Amino acid sequence: MPLKKKPVTGMKDILPAEMQIRDYVTGLIKETYKSFGFSPIETPCVEHIENLCSKQGGDNEKLIFKIMKRGEKLNLETAQSEADLTDSGLRYDLTLPLSRFYSNNANNLPTPFKALQIGSVWRADRPQRGRFRQFVQCDIDILGEASCLAEIELILATTTLLGKLNFKGFKVRINERRILKAMAEYCGFPEDQFDLVFIILDKMDKIGWDGVKAELIEAGFSADSVAKYVDMFGEMEASEDPLGYLENKLTGVLAADVIGNLRTIRQSVEATKAADFELVFDPTLVRGMSYYTGTIFEIEMPEFGSSVAGGGRYDKMIGKFTGNDTPACGFSIGFERIVTILLENNFQVPGAAGKKAFLIEKNMPADKLCEVLKEARAERENGATVQVALMNKNKKFQKEQLSKEGYTEFKEFFNR
């Protein structure tokens, strides 16, 4: 049977033209985030299965690529459950590995610690535009900072990066998990059912408010609670100051600092932003991860039709490892989605022009070949990119292929 030349479903080969853009974006990410004080780290792609299945990752825990035990630890004949077969898995995001990393290394790190991670993650998801089973994530996180300065820095750093990539007119949607919980409590939903309420609310963009009402009632919640809940969103939308509305409506239910923090974030970001975007309060924003405890945010771009970045505060996750909660907040860029948009817009890497190709006729004598190689070396020492290659019979096609990789200058060398 012949070997299969296509990648495994959900994976993809990356050709040089795309790789050039990916390398550029990666470099810009590192440069921008380092200017905000974030320090690069790296964590293993393989995590303990107990960590991955700790009920922190929401639906992503259903998509884990699990790794079987090895050697003497693997006994297929006596295995009675999945736990007997697997002890680790490929990470589905970078947040859980970061929390383990910080728990293990906190004594050697500053407080607060500003981390930058870029790496591949894996999810056994249904492949679609901008979504693969193996994909690169880029995360920045601030650990040990309890104030909303963390949220402000994360939003400013990420939007500054997107501005450098010429993205304009996008929206940063922001909400607070404590607002979601306070609204659910005020309307009489049982606390142990809050997550189900939020899962249904998260579908609002697809099914509308009538659909949300119907699903909540179908889930067994009282019609009075459902009506009260949905009406609150309508009243907020009609209010000139939604945050003020919530502050008054939820007095005694919502923690006193929540609204003030959101106002400080909005004022600070609007006053100091370096990119063209709008920061909007969106009370329907949920985010799927169950580990979020406070502020949550997403970046929505018209070019993609959905979010291309998201994050929030997760103050309880590190405590799962250490027993002591540590303030933590992070923002993750959908690297693959950003690259997809750039490719669709025929993005050209700045400074990529001017690459030179030296095409040599076959069977060139050694002395003449050395002259060509010396000329190429001199060009490289002056900062140019030079590829030396044998001349194909179909030079036109060869040049067309090289042009796709950014080569704009061609020089031909012959034996005579």
Strands, sheet with 386-390, edge to edge from the N-terminal-most edge strand: 386-390, 355-360, 407-413
Q: What is the largest CA-CA distance in the chain?
A: 92
- Tokens found for residue 15: 């050709």
DSSP annotation of 351 reads T
DSSP 270-327: HHH--SSEEEEE-TT---S-TT--SEEEEEEETTTTEEEEEEEE-TTHHHHHHSS---
Could you tell me the two tokens for 291? 């580990």
Tens of pLDDT along 185-211? 999 999 999 989 998 998 888 899 999
The Cα 89–Cα 124 span in angstroms is 12
DSSP E strand stretches across 65-133 = 66-68, 86-90, 113-122
28 closest CA partner among 167, 165, 169: 165
Dihedral of the alpha carbons of 272, 275, 281, 284, in degrees to the nearest 10:
-150
Among the listed residues 165, 169, 152, 145, the one whose alpha carbon sits nearest the alpha carbon of residue 271: 152
Q: Which residue has the higher pLDDT, 358 or 306?
A: 358
Predicted pLDDT at 60: 79
Q: Could you tell me how far CA 414 lies from the centroid of its own chain?
A: 50
Question: Can you give the C-alpha Rg of the chain in angstroms?
Answer: 26
Place of tokens 């329907």: 284
Look at the domain 355-413 and name its fold: Rossmann fold (3.40.50)
Q: What is the sign, positive or negative, of the torsion defined by CA atoms of 375, 381, 387, 388?
A: positive
The CATH code belonging to domain 16-186+251-344 is 3.30.930.10
Per-residue pLDDT tens for 144-172? Answer: 999 999 999 999 999 999 999 999 999 99
Query: Token pair of 212, please?
Result: 């949300």
Q: Tell me the average pLDDT across 326-348.
A: 92
Mean pLDDT of 224-239: 93
Q: Hey, what are 393's tokens?
A: 């019979």
Q: What are 169-181's pLDDT values in tens digits?
A: 999 999 999 999 9
* Mean pLDDT value across the chain: 91
* Residue 299 parent element (H or E): strand 295-301
Q: How confident is the model at residue 28 (pLDDT cuts 50, 70, 90)?
A: very high
Confidence of residue 214 (pLDDT cuts 50, 70, 90): very high
Binning pLDDT at 50, 70 and 90, where does residue 329 land?
Answer: very high
User: For residue 212, what are the CA distances in angstroms to 13, 225, 251, 287?
Assistant: 40, 13, 26, 16
Supply the DSSP symbol for 8.
P
Q: Where are the alpha helices (DSSP H) in 239-359?
A: 242-249, 257-272, 317-322, 335-344
pTM for this entry: 0.87
- Would you list the domain boundaries of the chain? 16-186+251-344, 355-413
Strands 386-390 and 355-360, bridge-based pairing: parallel
301 within 8 A of 170, measured Cβ to Cβ: yes
